[in-house]
Structure 1
Amino acid sequence: LLVRVLLGGLSGKDVVERLFAEVPVVQGDPDFTCVTWVRQALLALHQAGIIRTGDTFDWDNIRGTALEHVEKKQEGRFNTGWEGDSSRVATFDMMLSREVCR
């Protein structure tokens, strides 16, 4: 796990798992990546009303925030032999616009 970005709270784990299972993993397409899949999975959650990111689905903001958080984390614990509590993951909370530890 590189980083975790919190978009909002959700309930109904079964619905989330079902929606994720419905997002296709495209084989043989060089343009398909794990990032493509995550975008489609989050869009499915947004369209189902499970996550609320405002009136529109702002993938660029979500992706940009996640990449910014990855860059910040790479400056520290990933390259310095960090041995912290792996059960508590540093999370960037987009609702609070700050890092939290959960």
Structure 2
Amino acid sequence: MLLVRVMVGKVEKIDRLVNTLRSIPLRQSEQGWNCVTWVREALGALQADRKTLGTARMEWNKVRDAAMTYCQKKRDEHRFDGKGNYDMGKAATYDLTEQKEGIQ
């Protein structure tokens, strides 16, 4: 389930982005692996490439903390439990590069 989106950078070369993300394996059979592990590895690969993204915030702790804080904010606002008045067809979005919310 998609809860929120956090924009961490502006794409300069979409083909490189697609290739890099496709190269990050899913390791569902490994103990302790999860989607957060995948995102951390993907961000590391994009950061190492230095040609895929333009303006970007790639520091893992900042990205992780922003995503978790934003998700908790949306949870507190009842974004996910049906008690709020939100268009569930649109994902709540936070732009980390500009530190502002897009779609609420």
Q: TM-score per shorter chain, which class?
A: 0.7 to 0.9
Deviation string 1:29-55 (CA, Å, 9 cap, x unpaired) is 21211111111111111111123546x
Q: Per-residue deviation at 1:84?
A: 3.0
Write the distance in 1 (CA, Å) between the matches of 2:26 and 2:98.
Answer: 32
Equivalent positions of 1:1-102 (< 5 A) are 1-49=2-50, 50-51=52-53, 52-53=55-56, 57-76=58-77, 77-101=79-103
Write the distance in 2 (CA, Å) between the matches of 1:40 and 1:83.
Answer: 35
Q: Give me the TM-score of the superposition, normalised by structure 2.
A: 0.79
Q: Per-residue deviation at 1:63?
A: 0.3
Q: Partner of 1:19: helix, strand, or coil?
A: helix
Q: Give me the TM-score of the superposition, normalised by structure 1.
A: 0.81
Which structure 1 segments of 5+ residues have no match?
none
Which structure 2 segments of 5+ residues have no match?
none
Which stretch of structure 1 is more off in the superposition, 67-76 or 84-93? 84-93
Write the distance in 1 (CA, Å) between the matches of 2:76 and 2:28.
Answer: 34
Q: How many residues align?
A: 100
Identity %: 31
Q: Partner of 1:16: helix, strand, or coil?
A: helix
